[in-house]
Amino acid sequence: MKIHLRMKCKACGYWNRIEVDKLFIEQPSSEPKVRVLIPFYKPLKVETCKKCKTVIAEPKELIRIQIGETQRIRIIEVFPLSLVEYY
């Protein structure tokens, strides 16, 4: 599923829109009848910041967004594609 994701540049703080593909990766579960699917985002091309021209996202990385527990802050984690196992 192709969507646009807003990511903040770590260098200058500018909000950029990048084209990503949404993937769901299954994680192991302790209960056999329950399937745990985690949403990840894969950039379609190398994206640079429109303001400072630094690289924000690459196709060889997966992006995971999670909500912080204490202050409701969106935390963006970037994983190399080789570390994620597909089921």
pLDDT digits (tens, 9 = 90+) for 12-50: 989 999 999 998 888 888 888 888 888 888 899 999 999
According to the model, what pLDDT value does residue 68 have? 62
The count of other CB atoms within 10 Å of the CB of residue 44 is 13
Mean pLDDT, the chain, whole residue set: 81
pLDDT higher than threshold 70 for residue 80: no
For the record, the structure tokens of 28 come out as: 């192991």
Beta strand 47-48 with 36-43 is unpaired
The count of other CB atoms within 10 Å of the CB of residue 87 is 8
Phi, psi for 79 (deg, rounded to 5): -115, 140
pLDDT band at 52 (very low <50, low <70, confident <90, very high): very high
Residue spans per domain, the chain: 2-83
Tell me what percent of the residues of the chain surpass a pLDDT of 90. Answer: 21
Query: Which residue from 76, 74, 72, 39 is spatially nearest to 57, judged by alpha carbons?
Result: 76
